[in-house]
Amino acid sequence: MKTILKAATLALTLGASTMAMAEPIKIGLITTLSGGGAGLGVDTRDGFMLAIKQSGNKDITVVTEDDAQKPELAVQIADKMIQSDKVDILTGIVWSNLLMAVVPGAVAQGKIYVSTNAAPAALAGEKCDPLYFNAAYQNDNLHEAMGEYANKVYKKMFIMAPNYPAGKDSLTGFKRYYKGELANEVYTKVGQTDYAAEIAQIRASGADAAFVFLPGGMGIAFMKQYAQSGVKIPVIGPGFSFSQDVLPAIGDAALGAKASGQWAKDLDNAANKKFVPAFQAEYGRLPSIYAVQAYDAAQLILAAASKASVKDVKAFTTELSKADIQSPRGKFKFNTNRHPIQDIYLTEVVKDNGTLTNKIVEKIFTDHGDAYAKDCKK
Amino acid sequence: MTFALLIEQLLNGVQLGVMLFLMAAGLTLIFGVMGLINLAHGSLYMVGAFACASVAALTGSFWLGLVASLAAAAAAGALIEITVIRRLYQRDHLDQVLATFALILIFSEGTRWLFGSFPLYLDIPPLLQGAVGLPGGAQYPVYRLAIILAGALVAFGLYALISKTRLGMRIRAGESDREMIAALGVDIRTLYTLVFALGAALAGLAGAMVGALQSVQVGMGEPVLILAFVVIVIGGIGSIKGALVGALLVGSVDTLGRFLLPQALALMVPPDQAGLIGGALASMLIYILMAIILAVKPRGLFPAQA
């Protein structure tokens, strides 16, 4: 009852603030709702829709479609949404390779894109666009934070990521801050499910710790196998490796793992205290970082919509870049390249009332931007 | 590189090979006996893993889950054989591929509908937790040793079934001459359903055993299916012996390639480049192996008689 009341209060306050302007807005949400990556897309959709629902804003319509994690399908859907659904804003894509396929075309047609997760380096620097906003981070950020952390604690690191653009961004980001010795640098196949060969190399490497970026099912497989291998070298990683969507499937093997994140369930601020119970009440599970990012993307759009008409793209994007929202992450603002400036924390996997979740240990970066913003002149 | 590491990697290769064999055996058996290309074999693997995970979660026993995986995959296999596959034996391979591809989609979305989009949890049974010491000082997970043992038992059981029993005789006869065995009064329809269910059960067993090591999620069968096809093409389509040799070959080459190639390249180029190029080359290695074997022996290592 208490949570319902809280949700209702939040809905009313948000609702009141958006009543100023009654301009119909159509949003196209393209995300992954089938296949192995569907968990991330479902959280994205649910987080986004929660903010829209709480706002009570009746002028906003959201069209949702499944991209099945396929770039060519994402492009077709985006074209359809722009041409026949006549959407004003696109959002929702989880994967960087899909985003790279959709965004350049969409912004060229004058549509606004607000990313809920994917943030490839290519769109953050020289090729940034005034119509492209990222509500999540820049791909390198969480890896940079772990590099900074490893610098303080470890002397010799084993680092590993899948062999695709975001995997290379990951190790690049890590090495940008980590200055110690590298025991080995390993790239695995995308979608690999057996890590016995890599675990044997970690064992033999003599490293102090292993930094591992393996999102979704890859991370589940790795952590379970690692726990059984008898290797005692600690594993650290970016938040995706231990986010709420994969923790139940990894099980106790994840306990104690250190990771980086710009949000955790126990982050102490008013917006987060409302968001977590509201999400739980609505969907019956804990939100993941993907849900938070999508929730904020929707909040950003709602905030801009209360001040400007979406038909006036210039005025609307100016309002968007002010980022006038109460994020569950706490402080949130946009950099000059329209990627977030935010705090990044060190988290640890703990058991809370029998449920595995992430707890904040300390702050790694305060007001952290990205390395590409200086090249963005648009 | 130490001797212990090499031993460990060899064992890893054998273990991967054994898993692939369980998948490939069913696939090659079904192709050999019924002449059917079954793309939905990966879905049966997924059914096995989901059955094991949900029964283990309900009862708390991995072993009951394992039994459930065999039963569920065999039942699913028999069901699709009777309802769909049976109509495809006389059709050409393109129709079979289309229909079994449709089955993949139905199984995937059906599983998502029942279990949701988030991966399920399945843990290794307490008996097989942890690692044991190997000669040379390395540690090796007990569970992987158990998989190798289970695979060896299945391989032996299949050999005994096919060469020593009456059912095996009929399976071999079905492979050689379908019309003749039907004319001799053997109920070929039941035989086909049995063979299909057997192949499905093996895939389900593989799914359940691997499910404890990996994530149990929708779509987990497709990557394994591709590898299983590589295995049966290398081994010779329709040959169980070929599937065994092919699986061990693919398992070892893949594992050792992933481990040795970057190291070998590191002698020539900077280490971060070696990791990148080595990793990319290693993931191509089994396909290169397949191409070479097909160039030398176009019908695989152990071509079936037909």
Q: Is the pLDDT of residue A16 over 50?
A: no
Average pLDDT over residues B15-30: 92
Q: What is the mean pLDDT of chain B?
A: 89
Task: Please report residues of B whose CB lies closer than 8 A to that of A191.
Answer: 223
What's the fold here for domain A141-261+344-375? Rossmann fold (3.40.50)
How far from A62 is each of A27, A44, A52, A93, A287, CA to CA, in Å? 5, 13, 9, 14, 20
Residue A18: pLDDT above 50?
Answer: no
Percentage, residues of chain A above pLDDT 90: 67
Residue A1 above 60 pLDDT?
no
- Look at residue B2 and tell me if it is in a domain: no
Cβ contact A229–B139 (<8 Å): yes
Residue among B112, B118, B259 minimizing CB distance to A245: B118
Q: Is the pLDDT of residue B200 over 80?
A: yes
- pLDDT reported for residue A91: 97
Confidence of residue B306 (pLDDT cuts 50, 70, 90): very low
Task: Write out chain A residues lying below 8 Å of B119, CB-based.
Answer: 39, 217, 220, 246, 248-249
CA distance to partner chain B, nearest, from residue A204 (Å): 7
By mean pLDDT, which of A350-364, B148-162, B275-289 is the weakest? B275-289
Quote the pLDDT of residue B31: 87
- Mean pLDDT is lowest, of A76-90, A245-259, A262-276, for A245-259
Under an 8 A CB cutoff, do B2 and A34 touch?
no
The residue-averaged pLDDT of B24-39 equals: 89
Question: In chain A, which residue's Cα lies nearest the Cα of B13?
Answer: A197
Three-state secondary-structure class, residue A58: coil
Whole-prediction pTM value?
Answer: 0.80
Which range has the worst mean pLDDT, A17-21, A181-185, B223-227, B256-260? A17-21
Angstrom distances, CA of residue A82 to CA of A93, A195, A278, A298: 15, 42, 32, 19
Would the CB atoms of B275 and A231 count as touching at under 8 Å? Answer: no
B176 touches chain A (CB under 8 A): no
Mutate to test the interface with B, among A201, A240, A286 (most CBs of B within 10 A): A201
pLDDT value of position A20: 46
The CA–CA distances, whole Å, from A238 to A214, A361, A362 equal 9, 14, 15
A129 phi and psi angles, rounded to 5 deg: -140, 140
Q: Return the residue in B45, B108, B121 with the most chain A beta carbons within 10 A, the one to mutate for interface testing.
A: B121
Q: Is B223 in CB contact (< 8 Å) with chain A?
A: yes
ipTM of the complex, rounded to two decimals: 0.77
For residue A159, the one-letter residue type is: I
3-state DSSP: chain B helix, strand, coil percent, rounded to 5?
75, 5, 20
- pLDDT tens digits, A123-149: 998 899 999 999 999 999 999 999 999
- pLDDT-based confidence at residue A22 (cuts at 50, 70, 90): low
Strand bridging mode A258-261 / A235-238: parallel
Q: d(Cα A340, Cα A369) in Å, to the nearest integer? A: 6
pLDDT at B264: 84
Continuous H helices in chain A: 2-18, 38-55, 71-83, 96-108, 141-153, 165-177, 196-205, 217-228, 247-250, 270-283, 289-305, 313-322
Q: Report the pLDDT value the prediction gives residue B290, as an integer from 0 to 100.
A: 94
Alpha-carbon gap, residue A233 to A242, rounded angstroms: 17
- What is the average pLDDT value for chain A, to the nearest integer? 89
pLDDT computed for residue A90 by the predictor:
97
Q: Do B118 and A194 touch (CB under 8 A)?
A: no
Q: How many domains does chain B have?
A: 1
CB-nearest partner of B215 from A184, A217, A230: A217
Q: What is the mean pLDDT of residues B25-30?
A: 90
Q: Which residues contact B128 (CB under 8 A, 6 or more apart)?
A: B142, B143, B146
**Secondary structure percentages of chain A, helix, strand, coil, to 5:** 45, 20, 35
Q: Is residue B205 part of a domain?
A: yes
Three-state secondary structure call for residue A136: coil
Please compute the mean of the pLDDT values over residues A30-47 and round it to a whole number: 88
Q: Which tens digits make up the pLDDT trace of A221-230?
A: 898 889 888 8
| Cα A127 to Cα A121: distance, rounded to the nearest angstrom | 9
Alpha-carbon span A59 to A151, nearest angstrom: 50
How crowded is the C-beta side of A40, counted as CA atoms within 13 Å? 25
Span of B28-37, B43-52, B128-137, B292-301 with lowest mean pLDDT? B128-137
Tally of residues, chain A: 378
Chain A: closest CA distance from residue B156 (Å)? 25
**Count of CB contacts below 8 A, A vs B?**
144
> What is the per-residue DSSP string for B222-258?
HHHHHHHHHHHHHH-TT-HHHHHHHHHHHHHHHHHHH
Report which listed range, A198-202, B90-94, B203-207, B237-241, is most confident: B203-207
Do residues A332 and A325 make contact, with C-beta atoms less than 8 angstroms apart? Answer: yes
Residues in chain B: 306
| CB-nearest partner of B124 from A187, A191, A228 | A228
Give the side-chain half-sphere CA count within 13 A for B123: 18
Residue A99's pLDDT is 94
| CA atoms within 13 Å, Cβ hemisphere of A106 | 34
Closest CB to A197 among B9, B121, B210: B9
Are the CB atoms for B19 and B210 separated by under 8 Å? yes
Q: Which CATH architecture has domain A2-137+266-334?
A: 3-Layer(aba) Sandwich (3.40)
Q: Is A167 left (phi over 0), alpha (psi -120 to 50) or beta?
A: alpha
Average pLDDT over residues B262-266: 83
Give the model's pLDDT for residue A7: 55
Distances, alpha carbon A51 to alpha carbons A23, A62, A116, A131, A132, in Å: 18, 12, 13, 22, 20
Note whether residue B180 is domain-resident.
Answer: yes
- Residue ranges of chain A assigned to CATH 3.40.50.2300: 2-137+266-334, 141-261+344-375
- Distance, CA of A64 to CA of A76 (rounded, Å): 14
Q: Are strands A181-188 and A156-162 parallel, antiparallel or unpaired?
A: parallel
In B, which residues are within 8 Å of A193 by CB distance?
A: 210, 214-215, 220, 223-224
Work out the minimum CA distance from A261 to partner chain B, whole angstroms. Answer: 21
pLDDT tens-digit readout, A42-73: 999 999 999 999 999 889 999 999 998 889 99
Looking from the CA of B118 toward its CB, the CA atoms found within 13 Å total: 15
Exposure pattern of B266-277 as b/e (b: 16+ CB <10 Å)? beeeebbebbbb
Q: Does B121 touch chain A (CB under 8 A)?
A: yes
Q: Which residues contact A84 (CB under 8 A, 6 or more apart)?
A: none
Please check the confidence at residue A8 and state whether its pLDDT lies above 70: no
pLDDT beyond 50 at B233: yes
pLDDT, tens digit, 9 for 90 and up, residues A98-128: 999 999 999 999 999 999 999 998 899 889 9
| Span of A357-371, B239-253, B265-279 with lowest mean pLDDT | B265-279
Give the Cα separation of B62 and B82 in Å (integer): 30
Contact residues on chain A for B16, CB-CB shorter than 8 A: 194, 196
Q: Considering only CA atoms, which of A226, A237, A294 is closest in space to residue A31?
A: A294
B8 touches chain A (CB under 8 A): yes
Cβ pair A35:B219 closer than 8 A = yes
Structural domain contains residue B129: yes
- pLDDT value of residue B150: 93
Structural domain that includes position B36: 7-220
pLDDT for residue A92 is more than 90: yes
Whether A108 contacts A130, CB under 8 Å: no
Which chain A residues touch B279 with a CB distance below 8 Å? Answer: 163, 186-189
* The pLDDT value given to residue B208: 94
Stated as kind and residue range, the H or E segment containing A349 is strand A340-352
Evaluate whether residue B247 is within a structural domain: no
What tens digit of pLDDT does each residue of A310-348 get?
A: 999 999 999 999 998 999 999 999 999 999 999 999 999
* A186, A203, A249 ranked by CB distance to B121: nearest: A249
Question: How big is chain B by its Cα radius of gyration, in Å?
Answer: 20
Beta partners for A368? A342
Which of B117, B252, B254 would you mutate first to test chain A, the one with the most A CBs within 10 A? B117
User: Is residue A15 pLDDT above 50, yes or no?
Assistant: no
Q: pLDDT value at position B305?
A: 59
Give the mean model confidence (pLDDT) for residues A64-83. Answer: 93
The predicted-structure confidence for A161-202, as pLDDT tens digits, reads as follows 998 878 888 999 999 999 999 998 899 888 788 898 899 889
